[in-house]
Structure 1
Amino acid sequence: MRNKISAPVPWRRSIEGWTDTLRAAGLSAQTIKSRRYKMVHLSTLLMPSGPKDVTTEQIVQVFARQQWKPETRKAYRNTISSFFRWLHKSGRRSDDPSLDVPRVKKPHAHPRPCPDRYIAAAMEMATPSERLMIRLGAECGLRRGEIARVHSDDVVADSAGRSLIVRGKGDKQRIVPLPDDLADIIMDARGYLFPGRFGGHVEESYIGDHISRLLPDGYAAHTLRHRFATTAYAATHDLFVVAELLGHESVETTEHYVAMPDGRLREATTAVRLDV
C-alpha cells in the first residue's frame, strides 16, 4: 500500500475543495482516493509555490524530472488538469496554468494473452482462493480491482443462467455471464469472495501479487484479461460483444486486447503464397 502523505499547508484547502467536487460528481471512492493521492504528491513537488501562484513552467519542470511510465505520466497530467480547471472555474484563480502542459501520448501495447499452458501450470500450484482469482481473470475478463470486489450479492439470475454484476472503473457497471460452478462458489461466500483482514475486501495489489507469483515472468493479472478477450473474440468474431464484456466504451480500446489467432494469420499467408 502507498505511504500516506499529507498535502503542504498552502495546498490543503484547495485540494479538499477539489476533492469535494469529485464526490459531488459521484466518482467512486477508489477513484477519488487515487486522484487525491496524485494531487497531494504533485503539491509536495511544486512547493514552495502554492496553488494560486504556481506557474506553467514550474509544472512542466516537475513533470520533466519524474521518471514515470507513460500511463503514470498521463494519469498525473489528467489529475493536475482537473484540479486547476476546477480552481479556475470556481474563481479561485484567474487562469489555468495546466493548459499548456504538454499532453502525454500513451503508447498502445500489443495484446499479450497468457497462454493456457501457463494458466494450467499456475492452477496446479495455486491455493483454492488463488484458483478463483485466476478463473475470474481468465474466464470472466475481470481486472484486479474488480476481482477484489466480487461479492455474493452481485450474482444475478436471468433466463440463460447466472451472471455477475461487475463494478469497474469509475464505478461503471456491466454484466458478465458466470460458469455455474463459479456462481455457486461466489454465492456460498455470503459476502466478499476475498474478504480483507479488517473488514471489507482485499486490495487490488493483493490480487495482482498472488497472480503474478504463479505466472512466468512477463505475465501478470492483466494478461489473463487479454486471454479472455482473445478467446472471446475467436468464438464470436464480434468486437462489440467483447468490448461489452470487458467494460470498454470504445472497440478501439478492445482491439489492443485481442491477439489475432495464430491459425488465421497462417491461413492468410498461405492464401497469398506464390505457386512457383
Structure 2
Amino acid sequence: MRNDEWTVALDGWRSWLIAAHRASGTIYQHLYRVGRLERQYAGRSPWSLTTDDIIAHLREGDLSASTQRARRTSIRGFYAWAVATGRLTRDPSALLPAVHAPLGKPRPAPDEAVEAARFAADVRVRVMVQLGARAGLRCCEICRVHVRDVEADMLGWSLRVLGKGGRTRVVPLPDDLAHLIVREADASG
C-alpha cells in the first residue's frame, strides 16, 4: 500500500515536471525510478531519507552503471524539487557520488537484417526501416514522420524531425527515400 506522503510528493513532482514541459516518457521514467525508492522505503516518509539510505538504494541489486546513473539523476531531480518548493531544507541526494557510466556502443542492425526487412515487408515498414538505417532516425522519431515534413531544398530533399526533448532538426534525405515517402502518402490518401 502506498504511503500518503509519497503519493502527495510524487503527484506534486509530476505536476512540476508537466509544468516544465518535460516529455511524457521522461516523466514516466523519473516517476518509475523514484517509485522504486518509495517501494524500498514504503514505511517511511520521503522527507526522512538520508544520503546513506539513498546510497543503499542505489547499491541494491546488480545494476549497470547506466541504470544506476539514471536512478541517481531521477532521485536528485526529485529532492532538488523538494528543496526548491520548501518541502525540505536540505537535499539528502546532494552528496551522492557521481556515477561514471561508459558511453554506449552503437548497435546497428546487421546489413543482412536491414536488407531482408527492406524486401520482405510492406511499403510502410520498408519506409520505417530505411528511415532508421539510412537517415539515422530513432524509433520514436520514425513513428512521427509525416509527408508534410519532407521538403525539397537546394541539395535535394530534407526531413524535419521532431527529436528528443522536443527539438527539431533537419536531416538530409536520399532522393529515392523522399520519393517513397511522398508516394506512400499519396497512395494511402
Same fold by TM (over 0.5)? yes
Q: Work out which of the residue numbers 148, 161, 168 in structure 1 matches 2:163.
A: 168
Q: Structure 1 residues 189 and 88, CA, compared in 2 at 3 Å: closer, same or farther?
A: farther
Partner Cα separation in structure 1 for residue 2 and residue 149 of structure 2? 37
For residues 70-89 of structure 1, what are the structure 2 equivalents within 5 Å? 70-89=65-84
Cα-Cα RMSD: 2.6
The gaps in structure 2 that reach 5 residues or longer are: none
User: What amino acid sits opposite 1:175 in the alignment?
Assistant: V
Partner Cα separation in structure 2 for residue 43 and residue 189 of structure 1? 48
- Paired residues of 1:84 and 1:96 also in contact (CA < 8 A): yes
Q: Structure 1 residues 50 and 151, CA, compared in 2 at 3 Å: closer, same or farther?
A: farther
User: What amino acid sits opposite 2:153 in the alignment?
Assistant: D
Asked if 1:40 corresponds to 2:8, the answer is no
Q: Give TM-score, length-normalised by structure 2.
A: 0.83
- Paired residues of 1:152 and 1:188 also in contact (CA < 8 A): no
Q: Work out which of the residue numbers 3, 7, 14 in structure 2 matches 1:12.
A: 7
User: What amino acid sits opposite 2:84 in the alignment?
Assistant: K
Q: Structure 1 residues 150 and 46, CA, compared in 2 at 3 Å: closer, same or farther?
A: farther
Give the structure, 1 or 2, with the largest relative contact order (CA under 8 Å, sep 6 or more).
1
How far has the Cα of 1:7 moved from its partner?
Answer: 5.8
- Paired residues of 2:150 and 2:160 also in contact (CA < 8 A): yes
Partner Cα separation in structure 2 for residue 36 and residue 7 of structure 1? 14
- Paired residues of 1:45 and 1:62 also in contact (CA < 8 A): yes
The gaps in structure 1 that reach 5 residues or longer are: 1-5, 194-276
SS of equivalent residue, structure 2 residue 80: helix
Paired residues, number: 186
For residues 235-274 of structure 1, what are the structure 2 equivalents within 5 Å? none
How far has the Cα of 1:85 moved from its partner?
Answer: 0.6
Q: Work out which of the residue numbers 29, 47, 51 in structure 2 matches 1:52.
A: 47
Asked if 1:66 corresponds to 2:61, the answer is yes
- Paired residues of 2:124 and 2:184 also in contact (CA < 8 A): no
Partner Cα separation in structure 1 for residue 66 and residue 139 of structure 2? 17
- Paired residues of 1:8 and 1:44 also in contact (CA < 8 A): no
Q: Structure 1 residues 149 and 34, CA, compared in 2 at 3 Å: closer, same or farther?
A: farther
Q: Structure 1 residues 188 and 37, CA, compared in 2 at 3 Å: closer, same or farther?
A: farther
Q: Work out which of the residue numbers 131, 146, 158 in structure 2 matches 1:136.
A: 131
1:195-245 CA distances to partner (integer Å, 9 max, x unpaired)? xxxxxxxxxxxxxxxxxxxxxxxxxxxxxxxxxxxxxxxxxxxxxxxxxxx
